[in-house]
Amino acid sequence: MQIRQLSLHHDQPAPDQLAALQTLAPQLLLVFAAPAYFDGGTLLSSLAAALPGCVVLGCSTAGEIASQGVDEGSAVLTAIHFDHTRVTSATTVLDGMQDSQAAGQRLATALQADDLQLLLLLAPGTDINGTALLDGLQQVLGDTVPVVGGMAADNGRFCQTFTLHQSGWNDHQLVAVGLYGRQLQVGHGSCGGWTTFGPARQVSRCQQNILYELDGAPALEVYKRYLGEYASDLPGSGLLFPFAMLGRCGEDQGVIRTILGVNEQDGSLTLAGELTSDSQLKLMHAGTDSLVHGAEQSAMAARLNKAGHQDSLALLVSCVGRKLVMGDRVDEEVEAVADVLGSQMVLAGFYSNGEISPFAVGQPSRLHNQTMTITTLREIAQTD
C-alpha cells in the first residue's frame, strides 16, 4: 500500500504534481475540497482526465484535514495504490429525505460481496436522514461489514453540499467505495468529548429525524429558551449545542444528534439522525481541551496492532460543530491524533455535517454527530 498526498489552495495541480500521482498508479483517489472547488469544477475535471480508471471519492467540506493539519479553502488529494485490495465504486441519486433508506439499499446491493472488508460512504449533508441511510445499508450487508465516512458540508451554512465520483459531482448523489480482500487491516475509533447540562427532556412527538415536541411543548421553542442570545443564529448556532440521546430510563447511549435545520412554522427541529418517541434528550456543550481529549481517545481506539512496513492511512471525519467550538485551536485535535498514530500514518479527512463509523472494531456502524471518527487502514502480508 502506497500513498501520496497533495494539498492545493485555489489552484490547479502542476504537471509534475499530477505526474507524481500518475506514477503511483492509484486505484483510489480521495478528494476533500472547499465548496468553491465545486463551482465550475475545473480541478475535478482535470483529475478525472489525468487518472483514467482510478476510482474517485470526495465531497465538499467545512474544513480539510491532511497530514500537515487543518486547512480552509483548499483541496486535499490523497492517492492510494493497493497491493492486494480490490476497489469498486457505486453511486445513486438521492430523491429527497424520504429516499434515504432505499438509497442505502441500492448502494449496498451494488457493492455487496463475500470478501467486502470496508465500505467508504459519502452522502449529501442536507435533506437526508442519516439513520435511515445506514439502516438501508445494513439491511443488505448486515451489521458486521463496517461502514465509514460521513455527510458532506458547506462551511456550516447547511444550504448546498456536493459529493464527487469519477463520473461527476452534484448536490444530491450518494457515493461509496467497497474495499475487498482479507489482507486489509482496519481499525476504528469514535469519541466526542462533550458534556451534558440541564434537565433531560422527554421526546413527546417526533417522526424519524424531525423533532416536533419536547415535554409536550414545541421543540424549537424549548431549544431557543436554552440558547438565549445564540437563538438568532440558528440553525448554525445549533452546532454549538447538540443533543445527547438518552434511553427510556435516562441512560447514556453514547449517541449525539446535531441540528441540521429549523422550521419556524411548525416549531420543529430537523436532526441529522432519527429519534425514538420513548427517548430523552439533554443539551450538550464542550470546550477545546475536552474535544482534543476526545480526539485522542478516538485515535487510541483506532490504532493498529502491528507496525506496518508500508504506508498506512487514517481517515478522519470530524464534525463542523467541533471546529466552531475550537476556533483557532482546531489543529490541536488533529495534532493529538497524529501523536497517537505515529509518523507512518498519512492523515486525510474533513469536517462534516455528520459522521459514520463503529465506536470500535467489531461493533456495528452508527451515525454520529459532534465526534471525531477515525478509520485506520493498512495492508498486511499473508504471513502476518
pLDDT exceeds cutoff 50 at 237: yes
Domain match, 139 and 261 both = no
Burial class (CB in 10 A: 0-12, 13-18, 19+), 170: middle
- What's the CA gap between 308 and 144, in Å, rounded? 25
pTM for the predicted model, two decimal places: 0.88
- What's the CA gap between 106 and 362, in Å, rounded? 24
Shortest CA distance to 66 belongs to which of 350, 383, 327? Answer: 350
What confidence tens digit (pLDDT) does each residue in 51-84 have? Answer: 989 999 999 999 999 999 999 999 999 999 999 9
Cell 462534516, residue located? 352
| Domain end (from 266, 284, 302) | 284
- Residue, of 227 and 346, whose pLDDT is higher: 346
Residue 339, SS3 per DSSP: helix
Res 309: pLDDT:
55
Per the prediction, the chain carries an average pLDDT of 91
pLDDT exceeds cutoff 50 at 384: no
**Is 374 domain-assigned?**
yes
**pLDDT > 70: what percent of the chain?**
98
User: What are the φ and ψ backbone dihedral angles of 12, each rounded to 5 degrees?
Assistant: -95, 155
Tally of domains in the chain:
2
- What's the CA gap between 30 and 64, in Å, rounded? 12
Domain match, 220 and 263 both = yes
What confidence tens digit (pLDDT) does each residue in 9-36 have? Answer: 877 777 788 888 999 999 999 999 999 9
Domain match, 140 and 257 both = no
Burial class (CB in 10 A: 0-12, 13-18, 19+), 153: buried
Domain match, 200 and 306 both = no
pLDDT exceeds cutoff 50 at 164: yes
For residue 110, what are the domain limits? Answer: 2-191+289-379
Cell 435533506, residue located? 127
Residues 6+ apart with CB under 8 A from 37: 43, 44, 60, 75
Domain match, 184 and 202 both = no
Domain match, 236 and 362 both = no
| Domain end (from 261, 284, 307) | 284
| Domain end (from 264, 284, 304) | 284
Res 273: pLDDT:
80
Res 383: pLDDT:
45
- Give the count of alpha carbons within 13 A of 57, CB side only: 32
Res 307: pLDDT:
57
Res 360: pLDDT:
85
Mean pLDDT of the region 377-383:
79
User: What are the φ and ψ backbone dihedral angles of 5, each rounded to 5 degrees?
Assistant: -125, 145
Domain match, 259 and 167 both = no
**Is 384 domain-assigned?**
no
**Is 74 domain-assigned?**
yes
**Is 270 domain-assigned?**
yes
Domain match, 72 and 203 both = no
What confidence tens digit (pLDDT) does each residue in 357-369 have? Answer: 998 888 999 998 8
What confidence tens digit (pLDDT) does each residue in 147-158 have? Answer: 999 999 999 888
- What's the CA gap between 55 and 177, in Å, rounded? 8
What confidence tens digit (pLDDT) does each residue in 242-282 have? Answer: 999 887 777 777 788 888 889 999 999 998 888 887 789 99
Domain match, 242 and 370 both = no
Residue 108, SS3 per DSSP: helix
Residue 230, SS3 per DSSP: helix
Mean pLDDT of the region 223-243:
88
Domain match, 176 and 207 both = no
Is 281 within 8 Å of 200 (Cβ atoms)?
Answer: yes
Res 150: pLDDT:
96
What confidence tens digit (pLDDT) does each residue in 70-127 have? Answer: 999 999 999 999 999 999 999 999 999 999 999 999 999 999 999 999 999 999 998 8
Domain match, 138 and 185 both = yes
Residues 6+ apart with CB under 8 A from 204: 213, 214, 215, 216, 277
Model confidence band, residue 382 (pLDDT cutoffs 50, 70, 90) = low
